[in-house]
Structure 1
C-alpha cells in the first residue's frame, strides 16, 4: 500500500544521534497533537538531495513555521552517523531540521515509498516526497515521479500546497 492524503502514518521508530550516541525516536511521539512536515530523500549526500532538497526546506523553514508547522523532519534510509554528518554539512541541524535515519527502511516500506536503483548502489531507498502531517494524518502529500527530480517535493512547492490546502 502506498500512503495517500487522508491516511494515518503507521507507528515507526527512527534513529538519530543524541548527546550520548544513537537514540530511538518514535514517530507517534513526534506527531501527537502537532503539525509536522516530513520530507524524504533517496540518500544523504546524493547530488539532488544535497544541493536542492535540503536547501529548499532551509529557505522555507520560517514561512512554514508561520503556517503553524511545529517541526520539519528529514528522513533517509541511511545510518544515524551519516544523517548527523549530513545535517551538519548542510546546515539543516543548526537550522532546527530534525534528521532521522530509517536505517532498515521499515517506515519507507510500510508507507510504500521504497525503490531500488541498483546501477547507482541505492537499494531499499526512499522515493523523494514531502508531506504535511497533522496529528498523525497526512493532509498534503507531494511525491516526485523520478528520484533525481526535486520539484513538487521541494520546500517551496510544499509551502504553497500548505497555504492553499492542496497537494501539488
Structure 2
C-alpha cells in the first residue's frame, strides 16, 4: 500500500521516461532520463553498469528527485509530478539480478522481449544494476500547470535529511 496519490501512481504506470536527478560530487545536480517502473511501493529503474557515473553518484548520496513532466512520455496525461526520495543501487550479478524487474518493464515496454531474444547482439546493454527509490515527498500539479502551487504529500515517518551527506556517505566504495 502506498501513500502516493493515485494521479501520481497513474503517471508512474504510464511514463515511458522520467528524469532522475542525483547529486554529484560538489553538490551539483545531474539529471538522467530513465524508464520508471512502479511496483506499488518503490520506483525501480535500471541502468547499464558500464560508463555509469549515475550509479557512483547514487551510492555517494542517495537523495534523488524524479520528475514526470514530458507530455509525450506521459501518453497525453496532463498532470505533472516530482517525487523526492532515497535511492539504493542494487548491483549484484549484472547479468541476471536486474531481471526481477523484467515483468514491470515488459508491461510498460513490450519490445524489451525482442531485445532479450537478441541478447547476444547487445551483451553490454544487459549488464545492468537496479536503482530502487523509496518515495519520501511528492509534488503534484493535477492540471499540468507548474506555475501554480503543487499539491504536496509526504510519506509517514521521518523525512529526507536535506543536509549534505557525511564524509562516510560521500565515499564511493
TM-score of the pair, normalised by structure 2: 0.29
TM-score normalised to structure 1 length: 0.30
The higher radius of gyration belongs to 2
